[in-house]
Amino acid sequence: MGVLSVLLMPLGPWQGELSTPVLVAVGTFAFIVVSVVVNVLSQLLFKDKAKPPMVFHYFPFFGSTVVYGMDPYAFFEANQKKHGDVFTFILLGKKITVCLGPQGNDFVFNGKLAEVSAEEAYTHLTTPVFGEGVVYDCPNHRLMEQKKFMKFGLTIETFKTYVPLIVDQVEDYIKKSKYFKGGKGTVPLTEIIPEITIFTASRSLQGKEVRDALDGSFAALYHDLDLGFNPMNFMFPWFPFPGNKRRDAAQRKMARFYMDIIQRRRKDPNSAAKEQDMLWNLMDRSYKDGTPISDKEVAHMMIALLMAGQHTSMATTTWTLLHLAEQPHIVADLYKEQQEVCGLEPRPLAYDDLAKMPLLNNVIREVLRMHPPIHSIMRKVKAPMTVKDKGYVIPPGYHVLAAPGASAMDEKYFKNPKEFDPHRWDAVEDEDSGETFDFGFGLISKGTASPYLPFGAGRHRCIGEQFANVQLGSIIATFTREFEFALPGDGKVPPPDYTSMITLPTPPASVMWKRRNP
């Protein structure tokens, strides 16, 4: 006897008089009602004290997906009040245990390799976009080596060459953009900043050929590939969404594009004006066991770097310009700071200048406190994990989730957390000082029990932080040299939009600009 017939039993003799579609509809409705009742009763009657408390939900499978998806931080805060720092919720059938506060950050970021896996949490989203054999499509020790190679290409020497390239791209963009004509105007940041970020990252880190290609076919490939980077693929990797075919084609073409550049560079090592970009850095390397990195893997690493840096830097630049427009006196102070370092008629910006601009650096730090681009950092649980002071055991198959953005906005750790105040960092030491550890890609700070971790921590910590600071610092410095800013309308920074993978302001996120020297 099928499930449907069991559910239709209460209809008794009337079953025969109803048409099939009506019976199916009634059966489906009955099925939903029964599963909601069973789900609610099981939550009320069978509480497992050994496991973290479950966020109450009516619908099995969907659980708290909608409330979490609409505003993850509001969801975390409401449940932290009810359950404390550790609780579980259902996200499209997956059991996700949220671990809040500095201890929660430490628990997730410092989880042992045998206990947690980032690879299993992310691979179905990232591997079709980055390509095979890299990042989350290889054993963790390989990723650690890949990160080490990437880091070799992110040195002070390379940053020195990048700053003028980045500034040049921003100036050129401003000159050509339809939004910057005349002495003043309004510009939608969500339209221009993605372009400025990719132009600056490509001209510096990715290499001249990639930047040149962005004026042609590469832009369309990037767009198609980017389609694959959406939350639906995170949850339903198996679903044949129409964009995924284009993603796969774009991934293959883009990898080919990088491999062709590698071939050309090898044939004529001086042809591509041997600049210090990441592609030169990754070519012709071998892993510790002697296996050479294939050109395909290099291409896939370049794609991974492009995607990892693009969304995060784009979101941070956009939020920075919005907060500066909200408080124009900070823009004035930033300009003054530049004049102190680079002269009254400021000379071209150099890498060494950036370190002498504490306000600029603190503005970026403060933006990353209020708007870390990644709100939820996940790992799949591989072996039972005990939450020490609570006594909970999180079983294998669950996911653990850290949200350093929640502790960074908690009154307990930051006074007036909702206020944008770069000066709160004036007397704070660099968070990377203190004890360090090497997971295989260089020494990093060991302290992961911090309320402020926009770049993550532990073995999966970001390797792009310094580059991001150089890129953001150069872009913001160039904008503040050229313009004064203000916010249109009610003068308020637009609220976050959580529908994409990255926390962005709600479009168009416009700011008004006025040229300093019309």
- B/e letters for 452-488, b = 16+ CB within 10 Å, e = fewer, are bbbbbbbbbbbbbbbbbbbbbbbbbbbbbbbbbbbbe
Q: Could you tell me the smallest distance in angstroms from the CB atom of residue 33 to ligand HEM?
A: 39
Which listed residue (97, 126, 316, 448) binds ligand HEM by CB under 6 A? Answer: 316
Structure tokens given for 206 = 């990715």
CA atoms within 13 A on the CB side of 18: 14
Q: Could you tell me the smallest distance in angstroms from the CB atom of residue 312 to ligand HEM?
A: 3
In the block, residue with structure tokens 């499930």:
3
Q: What is the pattern of x (binds ligand HEM, CB under 6 A) and - over residues 216-255?
A: ----------------------------------------
In the block, residue with structure tokens 């990892």:
308
Rounded Cα–Cα distance for residues 169 and 349 (Å):
13
Residue 118 binds ligand HEM, judged by CB under 6 A? yes
Q: Could you tell me the smallest distance in angstroms from the CB atom of residue 305 to ligand HEM?
A: 5
Partners of 505 in the beta sheet? 496
Identify residues 342-371 at the interface with ligand HEM (CB under 6 A): 368
Which listed residue (221, 262, 354, 374) binds ligand HEM by CB under 6 A? Answer: 374
Rounded Cα–Cα distance for residues 55 and 494 (Å):
29
Residue 439 binds ligand HEM, judged by CB under 6 A? no
Q: Which is nearer to ligand HEM, 293 or 305 (CB)?
A: 305
Nearest to 337, CA basis, from 217, 211, 480: 480
Sign of CA dihedral 474, 479, 481, 486: negative
Q: Could you tell me the smallest distance in angstroms from the CB atom of residue 151 to ligand HEM?
A: 9
Identify residues 166-185 at the interface with ligand HEM (CB under 6 A): none
CA angle 168, 169, 170 (to 5 degrees): 95
Structure tokens given for 418 = 């909702």
Q: Which is nearer to ligand HEM, 27 or 209 (CB)?
A: 209
Q: Which is nearer to ligand HEM, 150 or 493 (CB)?
A: 150
Residue 125 binds ligand HEM, judged by CB under 6 A? no
Which listed residue (308, 330, 475, 509) binds ligand HEM by CB under 6 A? Answer: 308
Rounded Cα–Cα distance for residues 420 and 242 (Å):
41
Which listed residue (174, 189, 225, 377) binds ligand HEM by CB under 6 A? Answer: 377
Q: Could you tell me the smallest distance in angstroms from the CB atom of residue 373 to ligand HEM?
A: 5
138 is in an annotated binding site: no
Q: Which is nearer to ligand HEM, 322 or 468 (CB)?
A: 468
Q: Could you tell me the smallest distance in angstroms from the CB atom of residue 374 to ligand HEM?
A: 5
Rounded Cα–Cα distance for residues 64 and 93 (Å):
10
Query: Does residue 489 come out as left (phi exceeding 0), alpha (psi in the -120 to 50 range) or beta?
Result: left
Q: Which is nearer to ligand HEM, 27 or 373 (CB)?
A: 373
Nearest to 276, CA basis, from 131, 183, 179, 156: 156
Q: Which is nearer to ligand HEM, 380 or 460 (CB)?
A: 460
Identify residues 446-485 at the interface with ligand HEM (CB under 6 A): 454-456, 460, 462-464, 467-468
CA angle 229, 231, 234 (to 5 degrees): 85
Residue 504 binds ligand HEM, judged by CB under 6 A? no
Q: What is the pattern of x (binds ligand HEM, CB under 6 A) and - over residues 138-167?
A: -----x---x--x-----------------
Q: Could you tell me the smallest distance in angstroms from the CB atom of residue 294 to ligand HEM?
A: 19
Residue 305 binds ligand HEM, judged by CB under 6 A? yes
Structure tokens given for 332 = 């004035």
Question: SS3 sequence, 8-32?
Answer: HHHHHHHHHHCCHHHHHHHHHHHHH
Where on the chain is the footprint of ligand HEM (CB under 6 A)?
A: 118, 143, 147, 150, 305, 308-309, 312-313, 316, 368, 372-374, 377, 454-456, 460, 462-464, 467-468
Residues contributing to the annotated binding site for heme: 462
